[in-house]
Amino acid sequence: MDSLPDMSNCRGWWALQWRRVWHLVKEVWPGCDNILDAYLIDVNGRILNRESMGESLFWAIRGGGGASFGIIVSWKIKLVRVPPTVTVFTIHKTLEQGATKLVHRWQYVADQLHEDIFIRVIIQDVGGQSSGDCTEMTWIESVLYFAGFPRGNSLDVLLNRTHPDRSYFKAKSDYVKEPIPEVGLEESELPFPHRKGNLYNIQYLVKWEVNEAKISNKHVHWIRMLYQYMRPFVSKSPRAAYLNYRDLDLGINNQDNAKLLTSLGLGYKVLQG
């Protein structure tokens, strides 16, 4: 479980449309509300800004992404103030230590906390008992903390556009509208449409290091089985997903033969209509 008061929501253009539901989340999320202007290249090769594209298109690309309308080459965003110091902590709990009850309780309190406090839950193999104390750091250091970099890493790593992690991964997502019952947590059991009605967003993520078909298929099959298991506990009709996780299982358009029904199916899931 990670906690962080007062952090910012913007991490590059993709964060602007993200759930990320992230730093300073309760104050400035979603990031798309803080976009002031954009430059987009349309299908005719024209470079358009907010004024020349018109408010309707500007409204659409902020909440639904630019891929359906052109290539977005830059954003102008409104900056937000960040506090000089933030406090972060990470606590590990095993099943034997009551992790199931903790996660169940988290569903009822996380979205009710003060707007300066953000708490997320990560369910993973922790390899035994471990806990961390609260740590004060600058806001920009907390960006490294949440990105998984060791304490003391140079801030220059944020300027590197190539992520040092070379592993492979598959990600899927869900939105939860009602708390998952405790039994369901047991082993045996803008045009941004997700502002209201959802308690939280789930990301399912599996990673592996070896680029071999057999290993890749094994991990992808595992996450698909997990996704299937969670069906009764998440949003329905449609089962919603977060656009920028780019889950190809939801549907893809063939390069030369895109089908309307395929696109509609994806649209209903990520844009709710």
CA–CA separation, 232 and 88 (whole Å): 33
Cα torsion for 241, 243, 246, 249, to the nearest 10°?
40
> Which amino acid appears at position 264 of this protein?
L
Residues whose CB is less than 8 angstroms from the CB of residue 8 and which lie 6 or more positions away in sequence, other chains included: 22, 23, 24, 28, 80, 82, 139, 143
39, 200, 245, 268: which is the annotated catalytic residue? Answer: 245
Burial class (CB in 10 A: 0-12, 13-18, 19+), 125: exposed
CB neighbour class for 171 (10 Å; exposed up to 12, middle 13-18, buried from 19)? middle
User: What are phi and psi for residue 91, nearest 5 degrees?
Assistant: -120, 130
What does the alpha-carbon distance between residue 181 and residue 101 come to, in Å, rounded to a whole number? Answer: 10
Please report where in the chains the tokens 């803008």 appear, as a residue: 190
Known active-site residue 145 = no
Q: Which residues are annotated as catalytic?
A: 245
